[in-house]
Amino acid sequence: MLDRLVAEWTAGLDTPARKIAAIAEHLRHDFSYSLTFERHRREPLMAFLLDDRTGHCEYFASAMALLARSAGLPARVVAGYRVTEKNSLGGYWIVRESNATPGRDLFPGQGLPHRRRHAERGSHAACALHDELRQRPR
């Protein structure tokens, strides 16, 4: 099923970078961010991709990585924290649960530079879509 979906989304595209951009574009425009949704399949990611097209950032990162791999491009999901707040008294970084964010790695080769993308405000990486999608009216 993933092969068929990625073939449809990347039809006629000849470079890895264009395929990645097409996948990201579909995720950005055809899917919605939400922390509230129901799954009616045993495979939650397939429900996200094929049925309701609604999910949180882990679904977007997982979908991006799996669709990239289905297109023959090396990718994986990574997780971490987007830390932007520093304590003014102690000079240490403050890490909050709300800073947790998944991302995805695209690896070099096949015309792709190594890219590790975690969610950042204003970023248009597929794994960072959650900032943009959170602000979309439902």
Strand 115-118 and strand 100-106: the pairing is antiparallel
pLDDT at 125 over 50: no
Does an H or E element contain 54, and which?
strand 54-55
Counting the structural domains of the chain, the total is 1
* pLDDT at residue number 59: 92
Q: How many residues does the chain have?
A: 138
pLDDT digits (tens, 9 = 90+) for 29-83: 999 999 888 888 889 999 999 999 999 888 999 999 999 999 998 888 888 888 8
- Average of pLDDT values for 16-41? 91
pLDDT value of residue 1: 83
Per-residue pLDDT, 90: 92
Compute CA 116 distance to the chain's CA centroid, rounded to the nearest angstrom.
Answer: 11
Looking up tokens 């943009």 gives 132
> pTM score, two decimals?
0.70
Amino acid 74: pLDDT: 85
Residue 89 binned pLDDT confidence (cut-offs 50, 70, 90): very high
Cα–Cα distance measured from residue 30 to residue 93, given in angstroms and rounded to the nearest whole number: 36
Q: Which amino acid is at 80?
A: G
CA dist list (Å): 2 to 9, 72, 80, 114: 10, 12, 26, 23
Mean pLDDT of the residues in the chain? 78
- In the chain, % of residues over pLDDT 70: 74
What's 48's domain CATH number? 3.10.620
The domain containing residue 72 runs over which residues?
A: 2-134
What is the C-alpha to C-alpha distance for residues 64 and 61, in angstroms, rounded to an integer?
5
Q: What mean pLDDT is predicted for residues 14-20?
A: 90
**For 109-135, what is the mean pLDDT?**
43
